[in-house]
Amino acid sequence: MKTFSGIYPILVTTFAEDGSLDLDSQLRLVDYLLAQGAHGLGLFGNASEGYTLTDAERLRLMEAIRQRVDGRVPLIASSGHTGTDSAVELSRKMQDAGADGLMVLPPYFLKTDGEGLMFYFDAISRAVNIPIMVQDAPLMTQVAMPPALLARMSREIEHVKYAKVEAPPTAPKTSAVAKAAPELVLFGGLNCQFLIEEYQRGARGQMPGSDLTAPLVRIWDHLTAGRTEEAWDLFTAILPLLRFELQPGMGVSAMKHNLKAAGVIACERVRHPTSALDVASAAELAVLRDRIARVA
């Protein structure tokens, strides 16, 4: 089985002005990301507003995207849920619809303990035969997963092969998980804010948003070729935009504004409760976008 690695942007979900799915824009975005060198694609994550989608919409999008990609890169679909049975059902549906891997949040409404997390991920693993990426994202879930627990999952749960480390400070957590579970393949998230440090500590992939794929792929290529200074130079150039998008509640809308400005998607519409940029923030973003276009 091929190991996932590299830059796997999380697709924003594109909506029309009335809030319905805009499949034409969605497929243009897929084409755009593949042309920019994405090594794989992430679907239905936080940056996708997956929390606003119905199961029917997920399946409709999954089918359309799978057909468009046609096996050129792997697809990792988010399938975590607040209940174990629901997560099992959704994971099975995503696999049957063509996902190559699953990114799974722990239950985050009613919290459970370590044994409960083992039960949850094992139940999903028993229902599928594709790799599972455990999403360690306590800023979102308020669920802590220490390195020892992730190591136990990798040893005892058949399809747990990956972990997405989003527990700040992410670089030390990456080191700790790599030491405790050397068999796990580690990815970073949180919009790549510590991409270089995480790579140097053992991460083998990143899952950013959809609007900076080309420079992030170039940074990744620099890192894998040992060109660390070049990687830092380019990272520093795009850092103001990464910083802007990391403001709580603003990232998804900012990414959509950038993709609309690039002519990729037709509308920057987000779904409630996702926040839309106010007029002043949109103007500030436009200034950053123009500055970065000149240097990156």
By annotation, the residues acting in catalysis are 164
Distance separating alpha carbons of residues 173 and 253, to the nearest angstrom: 29
Angle at 166 (CA atoms; ends 160, 172), nearest 5 degrees? 100
**Could you give the CA distance from residue 241 to residue 211 in angstroms, rounded to a whole number?**
10
Two tokens, residue 1:
């089985």
Q: Which residue has the tokens 């603003």?
A: 250
Cα within 13 Å of Cα(162), Cβ side: 26
Using an 8 Å Cβ cutoff, are 38 and 8 in contact? yes
Separation of CA 228 from chain center: 24
CB 216 within 8 A of CB 196: no
Cα–Cα distance measured from residue 190 to residue 209, given in angstroms and rounded to the nearest whole number: 9
How is residue 41 written in tokens? 């694609």
